[in-house]
């Protein structure tokens, strides 16, 4: 959103945006709107910015452009506006935008960007509105504006004791010029920001009242379940649907398509009056697929191909600082090869979308990370003007990057267009597990030349992997240095006198996508385990060795010092226990962990994780802690549970039995610490907790058992 | 389609359904109680947990015919105003993230506390192990169950 969008203030009828969003947060007190009712008040309201709507009655609606997917934006985003507007969060109604133009070109969540990307902008929105309300009051009372103050949704004139509510002032305020440079509050006066605050969505999510995409209910709606070729990319030859149509409740069988990145996959949809009937009908389909050239793909062969590619000269990045003489002249050479798997996103709410194609456009209900992208994609694909795509964005039952693309949406819209009825399409867990898109695997070849004192003279990290960008864009240049696939490897604060990091592209025909913390989740494993290998070779303490590679004024030095302190790193451990440390700095921010494990049988138990996340500025510390706790759990799953593998072109895994996620009984204690400073910097919260977990864990396993893990996932109960 | 009588949250419902249709879809799509969620369809994730005669079951893998005439409780039925001790503790400790698994988590927790008002960490692990949370709220779930137990004692 740009500053200029703040100037596009105008009086509008609430009805102009009615039905474009679901009611997300709700005040438990205040104006008494009900929990899940949609916002259909016909009364006039006044926009002091596209994001703020004030009704005469005093009701205040804040429009949130950052969908709540579990990361807390239902609180943290409106909080930015409310803080400056001087209105408690409990007094406002929060409504999710649905890609409408007035809410800006990008409405979405990803890259841990929501709060840091909105922090100044939305505070200015709130401050401008506050100044307009103050001016309106001072004009009405004919007193200097400096004698007025805003508090809890009112403007107060202290000396006369007069006060007016924002509702009473809204009309006059909406006619004023929007201040170009509103004065922001001094952070020491903050009432909301920087404090642990409850989230408005939590009571709804503790009572079954929160509405998710899958809960959409449209009159006349039918259900769809789609069979795609089990061999990813197989083409439809023919379908015999006689048995399927004989299933009670099944009304139609239709061909359809899934558009995912550069791929278009054929599907067969079974339409029925209940989802259960659609599933039964789907089981009864008899489909012939052409799998010819796709069946040869297997993980075994692909992994070998990646290992072979490691021998190739990679494309170096622009941080390349030296030739190989120093590397091979060093008295000690350390070398290692690391491997990571494909993984699935597996949010517990499977992909689903309800679409209703009407004479004058389409209406969509779906959980998504990217309302604005979704609207433009549907409008492009179906040749509709964007205003004819009406999108309702309920809560997302998890996303983790999966809901950045709209494959399931396009299929539903096409089906509704074809059959002329509202269609709710729901993927099964098996669809969700088998069809991807997946986090790509990365293999890493690392080399370091150490001096006699153990200090590095040269460092190399070569990444071999398929590319997410290549999966999304046909024009991808296969010979280039792929920045996305080498994320962070040249951005660590460690001082290497000679460094050359590079990339080798490995082709693959499987859809790939961003996964929470993207490529940093796999590269940090290789990078930070290898730093540990260097420390071991140097005969140094791994944390102390890292500190010796850092400038004392670097953020990494400060982070590691904090970890050392909170984890009691220097306290001796009982026999059979081990501690490991790791950190990673990348686009989303920076976090570090110390993990403690205990030997048990042939494996270890993961006992405790200490986490330090650098936020710079924090909006809701409790939400940040929750994000790091969740990131740790997701990263442990990726480190020790099944990854996704392929055999004969098919995904081997299908559901949570063979693609498991961590359970409560496997949980370590997690203790999260937040670093802040006064520099005004602000970093992300959702992703930084992931990358350093696997290396900290594997470094701890090494400390406890002497066994070096270089391949994920590994079996924590049986360490080879 | 046979007619089946169900007693859900104290109310009687008559539905026309395939006797094999899982209770989950009957609750969600025929009766309209959407608080109970679909996650895996194979009794592997717990998102669909409801109570049958007070005991937690996975409604995605439970044919509706087997629930006929029995007392069914869903997340909508555990309190009228989100004030069950478990819900209070959930809100106090800000347990949910995306929230999708939480109806199932809460139903398992309510059942646990009914049979075991003062569970240990191990009791919680055993009772809650079938409820997956991809957002990773387990630590808070454990704390909240202890807190709910306290609230119930007081
Ligand atoms: S949906 Fe029933 S256990 Fe997963
Ligand atoms: S809160 Fe998201 S799956 Fe549990």
Render pLDDT for A391-405 as a digit per residue (tens, 0 to 9): 999 999 999 999 999
Residue A6: which pLDDT band, with cuts at 50, 70 and 90?
very low
Per-residue pLDDT, A44: 63
Are A278 and A223 in contact by the 8 Å Cβ rule? The answer is: yes
Domain check: are B24 and B89 in the same one?
no
Domain check: are B114 and B64 in the same one?
no
Domain that holds residue B145: 85-153
User: What number is the average pLDDT over the span A655-668?
Assistant: 98
Domain check: are A395 and A461 in the same one?
no
Interface residue A663 vs chain B (CB under 8 A): yes
Q: Tokens representing A67? A: 């969908």
A452 vs A582: CA distance, rounded Å = 24
Domain check: are A528 and A567 in the same one?
yes
DSSP letter for each residue of B40-56: -SSSSS-TTEEEETTEE
Per-residue pLDDT, A47: 86
Domain check: are A546 and A681 in the same one?
yes
Domain for residue A714, yes or no? no
DSSP letter for each residue of A664-694: GGGPPEEEEEEEE-SS-----SSSTTSTTHH
CA-based nearest residue to A291, from A647, A669, A668:
A647
Domain check: are A682 and A581 in the same one?
yes
Are A627 and A71 in contact by the 8 Å Cβ rule? The answer is: yes
Q: Which positions in chain B touch A202 (Cβ < 8 Å)?
A: 90-91, 94-96, 99
Domain check: are A70 and A193 in the same one?
yes
Domain check: are A157 and A25 in the same one?
yes
Q: Is B40 in the pocket of ligand 1 (CB under 6 A)?
A: yes
Q: Is B35 in the pocket of ligand 1 (CB under 6 A)?
A: no
The phi-psi region of residue A574 (left if phi > 0; otherwise alpha if psi is between -120 and 50; otherwise beta) is beta
Domain check: are B65 and B99 in the same one?
no
SS3 A3: helix
Total count of domains within chain B? 2
Phi, psi of A540 (to 5 degrees): -115, 160
SS3 A234: coil
A711 vs A701: CA distance, rounded Å = 13
Render pLDDT for A321-361 as a digit per residue (tens, 0 to 9): 878 899 999 999 999 999 999 999 999 999 999 999 999 99
Cβ neighbours for A295, distance < 8 A, ≥ 6 positions apart: A231, A648, A649
Domain check: are A41 and A149 in the same one?
yes
Domain for residue A299, yes or no? no
The residues facing A426 across adjacent strands are: A352
Render pLDDT for A109-134 as a digit per residue (tens, 0 to 9): 999 999 998 999 999 999 999 999 99
Residue A543: which pLDDT band, with cuts at 50, 70 and 90?
very high
Render pLDDT for A555-573 as a digit per residue (tens, 0 to 9): 999 999 999 999 999 999 9
Element (H, E) at A251: strand A250-260
- State yes or no: pLDDT of A624 exceeds 50: yes
Domain check: are A692 and A557 in the same one?
yes
Domain check: are B59 and B114 in the same one?
no
CB atoms within 10 A of CB A164: 18
CATH of the domain at A259: 3.30.365.10
Domain check: are B37 and B91 in the same one?
no
Domain check: are A251 and A142 in the same one?
no
Interface residue B32 vs chain A (CB under 8 A): yes
Domain for residue A309, yes or no? no
Cβ neighbours for A289, distance < 8 A, ≥ 6 positions apart: A229, A230, A231, A234, A235, A236, A237
Q: Which of B77, B104, B127 is the last residue of a domain?
A: B77
Domain that holds residue A109: 8-206
Domain for residue A416, yes or no? yes
- State yes or no: pLDDT of A287 exceeds 50: yes
Interface residue A238 vs chain B (CB under 8 A): no
Interchain proximity B136–A669, CB inside 8 Å: no
Q: Tokens representing A153? A: 């949704």
Q: Which of A385, A402, A426 is the last residue of a domain?
A: A426
- State yes or no: pLDDT of A294 exceeds 90: yes
Q: Which listed ligand is nearest to B94 at the C-alpha?
A: 2
Domain check: are B115 and B50 in the same one?
no
Total count of domains within chain A? 3
Give the chain B residue nearest A222 (alpha carbons).
Answer: B29
Q: Which positions in chain A touch B35 (Cβ < 8 Å)?
A: 207-209
Q: Which of B77, B105, B134 is the last residue of a domain?
A: B77
**Alpha carbon of B151: minimum distance to chain A alpha carbons (Å):** 16
Q: Identify the burial level of B69 via C-beta atoms within 10 angstroms of its C-beta, where 0-12 means exposed, 13-18 middle and 19 or more buried.
A: exposed
Are A638 and A442 in contact by the 8 Å Cβ rule? The answer is: no
What value of ipTM does the predicted structure carry?
A: 0.98
Q: Which of A148, A183, A206 is the last residue of a domain?
A: A206
Domain for residue A418, yes or no? yes
CATH of the domain at B49: 3.10.20.30
A140 vs A138: CA distance, rounded Å = 5
CATH of the domain at B122: 1.10.150.120
Domain check: are B12 and B71 in the same one?
yes
Domain for residue A420, yes or no? yes
b/e map of A15-54 (b: 16 or more CB within 10 Å)?
Answer: eebeebbbbbbbbeebbebeeeeebebeeebbbbbbbbbb
Domain check: are B21 and B56 in the same one?
yes
Element (H, E) at A312: none
Residue A484: which pLDDT band, with cuts at 50, 70 and 90?
very high
Q: Which of B77, B97, B128 is the last residue of a domain?
A: B77
Domain check: are A405 and A329 in the same one?
no
Domain check: are B64 and B99 in the same one?
no
Element (H, E) at A50: none
Residue A2: which pLDDT band, with cuts at 50, 70 and 90?
very low
Domain check: are B8 and B71 in the same one?
yes
Cα of B27 vs centre of ligand 2, distance in Å, is 21
Which atom of ligand 1 lies nearest, measured to the CA of B40? 4
Q: Is B72 in the pocket of ligand 1 (CB under 6 A)?
A: no
Interchain proximity B97–A632, CB inside 8 Å: no
Per-residue pLDDT, A32: 25
A339 vs A637: CA distance, rounded Å = 16
Domain check: are B15 and B67 in the same one?
yes
Angle at A523 between CA A535 and CA A303, to 5 degrees: 110
Which atom of ligand 1 lies nearest, measured to the CA of B44? 3
Render pLDDT for A470-483 as a digit per residue (tens, 0 to 9): 999 999 999 999 99
Domain check: are A102 and A188 in the same one?
yes
Domain for residue A301, yes or no? no
Domain check: are B97 and B46 in the same one?
no
Q: Tokens representing A610? A: 């200490």
Interface residue A429 vs chain B (CB under 8 A): yes
Which atom of ligand 2 lies nearest, measured to the CA of A348? 3
Task: Give, in order, the Cα–Cα distances in Å from A102 to each of A7, A48, A177, B98.
Answer: 11, 13, 18, 27
Domain check: are A73 and A187 in the same one?
yes
CB atoms within 10 A of CB A294: 19
Q: Which of A365, A398, A426 is the last residue of a domain?
A: A426
Domain for residue A393, yes or no? yes
Percent of all residues in chain A with a pLDDT value above 70, rounded to a whole number: 94
Residue A670: which pLDDT band, with cuts at 50, 70 and 90?
very high
């Amino acid at each position: 959103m740009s500053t200029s969008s703040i100037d596009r203030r105008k009086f509008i009828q609430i009805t102009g945006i009615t039905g474009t969003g679901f009611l997300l947060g709700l005040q438990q007190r205040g104006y008494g709107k009900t929990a899940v009712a949609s916002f259909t008040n016909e009364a006039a309201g006044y926009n002091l910015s596209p994001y703020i709507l004030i009704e005469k009655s005093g009701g205040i609606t804040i429009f949130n452009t950052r969908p709540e997917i579990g990361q807390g934006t239902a609180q943290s985003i409106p909080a930015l506006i409310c803080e400056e507007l001087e209105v408690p969060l409990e007094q406002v109604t929060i409504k999710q935008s649905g890609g409408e133009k007035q809410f800006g070109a990008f409405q979405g969540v990803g890259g841990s960007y929501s709060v840091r990307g909105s922090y100044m902008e939305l505070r200015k929105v709130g401050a401008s509105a506050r100044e307009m309300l103050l001016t309106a009051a001072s004009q009405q009372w004919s007193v200097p504006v400096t004698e007025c103050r805003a508090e809890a949704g009112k403007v107060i004139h202290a000396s006369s004791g007069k006060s007016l509510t924002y509702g009473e002032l809204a009309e006059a305020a909406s006619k004023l010029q929007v201040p170009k440079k509103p004065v922001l509050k001094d952070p020491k006066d903050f009432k909301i920001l920087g404090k642990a605050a409850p989230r408005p969505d939590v009571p709804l999510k503790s009572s079954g009242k929160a509405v998710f995409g899958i809960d959409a209910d449209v009159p006349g709606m039918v259900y769809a379940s789609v069979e795609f070729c089990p061999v990813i990319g197989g083409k439809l030859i023919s379908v015999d649907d006689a048995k399927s149509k004989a299933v009670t409740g099944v009304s139609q069988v239709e061909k359809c398509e899934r558009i995912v990145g550069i791929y278009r996959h054929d599907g067969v949809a079974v339409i029925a009056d209940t989802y259960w009937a659609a599933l039964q009908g789907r089981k009864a389909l008899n489909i012939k697929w052409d799998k010819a050239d796709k069946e040869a793909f297997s993980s075994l062969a692909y992994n070998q191909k990646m290992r072979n590619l490691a021998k190739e000269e990679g494309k170096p990045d622009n941080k390349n600082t030296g030739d190989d003489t120093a590397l091979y002249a060093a008295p000690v050479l350390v070398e290692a090869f690391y491997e990571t798997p494909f993984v699935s996103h597996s949010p517990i709410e499977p992909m689903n979308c309800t679409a209703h194609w009407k004479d004058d456009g389409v209406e969509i209900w779906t959980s998504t990370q990217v309302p604005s992208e979704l609207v433009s994609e549907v409008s492009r694909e179906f040749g509709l003007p964007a205003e004819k795509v009406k999108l309702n964005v309920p809560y997302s039952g998890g996303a983790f990057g999966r809901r950045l693309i709209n494959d399931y949406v396009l299929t539903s819209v096409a089906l509704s267009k074809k059959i002329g009825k509202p269609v709710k399409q729901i993927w099964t867990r098996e669809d969700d597990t088998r069809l991807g898109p997946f986090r790509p695997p990365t293999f890493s070849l690392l080399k370091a030349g150490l001096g006699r004192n153990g200090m590095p003279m040269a460092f190399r990290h070569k990444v071999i992997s398929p590319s997410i960008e290549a999966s999304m864009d046909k024009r991808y240049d296969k010979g280039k240095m792929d920045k996305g696939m080498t994320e962070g490897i040249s951005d660590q604060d460690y001082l290497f006198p000679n460094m050359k990091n590079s990339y080798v592209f490995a082709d693959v025909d499987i859809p790939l996508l961003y996964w929470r913390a993207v490529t940093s989740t796999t590269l940090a494993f290789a990078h930070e385990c290898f730093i540990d290998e260097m420390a071991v070779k140097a005969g140094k303490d791994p944390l102390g060795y890292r500190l010796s590679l850092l400038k004392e004024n670097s953020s990494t030095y400060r982070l590691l010092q904090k970890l050392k302190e909170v984890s009691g790193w220097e306290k001796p451990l009982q026999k059979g226990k081990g501690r490991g440390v790791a950190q990673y700095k990348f686009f989303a921010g920076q976090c570090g962990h110390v993990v403690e494990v205990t030997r048990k049988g042939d494996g270890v138990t993961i006992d405790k994780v200490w986490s330090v996340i650098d936020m710079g500025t924090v909006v809701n510390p409790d939400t940040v802690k929750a994000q790091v706790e969740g990131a740790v759990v997701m990263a442990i799953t990726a480190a020790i549970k099944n990854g996704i593998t392929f055999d004969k072109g098919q995904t081997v895994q299908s559901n949570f039995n063979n693609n498991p996620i961590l359970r409560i009984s496997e949980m370590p204690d997690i203790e999260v610490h937040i670093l802040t400073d006064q520099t005004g910097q602000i970093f992300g919260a959702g992703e930084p907790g992931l990358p350093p977990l696997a290396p900290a864990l594997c470094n701890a396993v090494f400390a406890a058992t002497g066994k070096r893990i270089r391949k994920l996932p590994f079996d924590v109960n049986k360490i080879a | 389609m046979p007619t089946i009588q169900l007693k859900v949250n104290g109310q009687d419902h008559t539905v026309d359904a395939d006797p094999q249709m899982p209770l989950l879809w009957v609750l969600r799509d025929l009766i309209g109680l959407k608080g109970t969620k679909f996650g895996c369809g194979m009794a592997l994730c717990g998102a669909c947990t409801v109570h049958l005669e007070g005991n937690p079951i996975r409604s995605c893998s439970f044919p509706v015919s087997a629930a006929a005439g029995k007392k069914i409780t869903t997340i909508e039925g555990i309190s009228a105003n989100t004030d069950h001790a478990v819900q209070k503790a959930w809100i106090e400790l800000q347990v949910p993230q995306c929230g999708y698994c939480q109806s199932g988590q809460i139903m398992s927790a309510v059942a646990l506390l009914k049979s075991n008002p003062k569970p240990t960490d191990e009791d919680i692990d055993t009772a809650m192990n079938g409820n997956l949370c991809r957002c990773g709220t387990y630590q808070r779930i454990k704390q909240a169950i202890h807190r709910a137990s306290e609230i119930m004692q007081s």
